[in-house]
């Protein structure tokens, strides 16, 4: 098992010039030490609505904050309320709870490979994420990976699709039939693509490319003991 300092050394060794970072570790993570040691690197934490550290734990109450729930949470990209989406995500298991709630990961490259006949329409669309307070945030659905320029899919759960009316001329906008057909194929590709299912144990830590990988929570029921830490990073 890695210490906090040893894990940061592993973070520094990652090849940030490629897409598809997906690394699993076992770490005895000390959060205070992590943020202190990180200041001596060129890796930068990115604040979410919760600050530099988000605690993903069921509050036991009905809430619009998916981080405070333990039930199913469909595939999504983190940080859709930012213009520049956080490129890297750390998920760390402080407590697996009952151990029956897995995190699923789907490679958007695999999803896009199934959508050749619909890419023309999908590239004209954006995903509108609806924040916990009802605010709407628009992102292009198909984006170029910032490090490699490869096509990646950006997606939301509490969200909807609409044409990118700010960038596309009116005479080139897709029809509602084209949008619905493309959306149906997109959801089908997400449902049938290969997925990585991670069953959490205490001290498990995953670092993944948030632009390339969608992730989801697959739950068998409410679990108020399950506790993950989430940290967003850039380099």
pLDDT in tens, 182-199: 999 999 999 999 999 999
Same domain, 7 and 92: yes
* Spatial distance between the Cα atoms of 193 and 104, rounded to a whole number of angstroms: 11
Count of domains observed in the chain = 2
Positive/negative CA dihedral, 93, 158, 218, 58: positive
Q: What is the pLDDT of residues 199-217, one digit of tens each?
A: 999 999 999 999 999 999 9
64: in domain: no
pLDDT band per the 50, 70, 90 thresholds, residue 15: very high
Same domain, 153 and 200: no
Task: Say what the pTM is.
Answer: 0.96
Same domain, 115 and 91: no
Same domain, 90 and 113: no
* Spatial distance between the Cα atoms of 41 and 55, rounded to a whole number of angstroms: 24
Same domain, 126 and 166: yes
Please report where in the chains the tokens 């084209």 appear, as a residue: 178
Same domain, 94 and 16: yes
Q: Which domain holds residue 176?
A: 109-192
pLDDT at site 199: 98
Same domain, 178 and 218: no
pLDDT at site 134: 96
State the average pLDDT over residues 157-180: 96
* Spatial distance between the Cα atoms of 106 and 124, rounded to a whole number of angstroms: 22
Q: What is the DSSP string of 16-58?
A: TTSS--EEEEEEE--HHHHHHHHTTSS-EEE-BTTBS-EEEE-
Same domain, 90 and 114: no
170: in domain: yes
pLDDT band per the 50, 70, 90 thresholds, residue 132: very high
Same domain, 184 and 216: no
* Spatial distance between the Cα atoms of 225 and 221, rounded to a whole number of angstroms: 12
Q: What is the pLDDT of residues 134-158, one digit of tens each?
A: 999 999 999 999 999 999 999 999 9
Same domain, 91 and 125: no
Same domain, 9 and 125: no
């Amino acid at each position: 098992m890695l210490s906090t300092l040893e894990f940061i050394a592993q973070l520094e060794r990652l090849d940030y010039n490629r897409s598809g970072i997906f690394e699993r570790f076992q770490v005895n993570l000390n959060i205070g030490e992590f943020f202190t040691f990180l200041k001596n690197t060129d890796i930068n934490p990115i604040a979410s609505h919760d600050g530099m550290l988000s605690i993903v734990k069921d509050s036991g109450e009905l809430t619009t904050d998916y981080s405070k729930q333990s039930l199913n949470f469909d595939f999504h990209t983190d940080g859709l309320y930012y213009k520049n989406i956080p490129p890297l995500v750390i998920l760390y298991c402080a407590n697996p709870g009952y151990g029956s709630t897995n995190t699923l990961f789907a490679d958007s490259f695999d999803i896009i490979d199934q959508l050749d006949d619909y890419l023309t329409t999908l590239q004209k669309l954006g995903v509108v994420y609806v924040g916990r307070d009802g605010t709407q945030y628009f992102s292009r659905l198909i984006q170029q990976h910032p490090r490699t320029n490869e096509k990646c899919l950006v997606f939301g759960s509490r969200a909807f699709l609409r044409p990118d009316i700010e960038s596309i001329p009116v005479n080139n906008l897709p029809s509602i039939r084209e949008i619905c057909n493309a959306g149906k194929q997109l959801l089908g590709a997400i449902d049938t693509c290969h997925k990585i299912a991670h069953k959490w144990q205490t001290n498990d830590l995953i670092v993944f490319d948030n632009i390339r990988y969608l992730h989801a929570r697959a739950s068998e029921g409410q679990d108020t003991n399950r506790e993950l830490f989430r940290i967003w990073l850039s380099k």
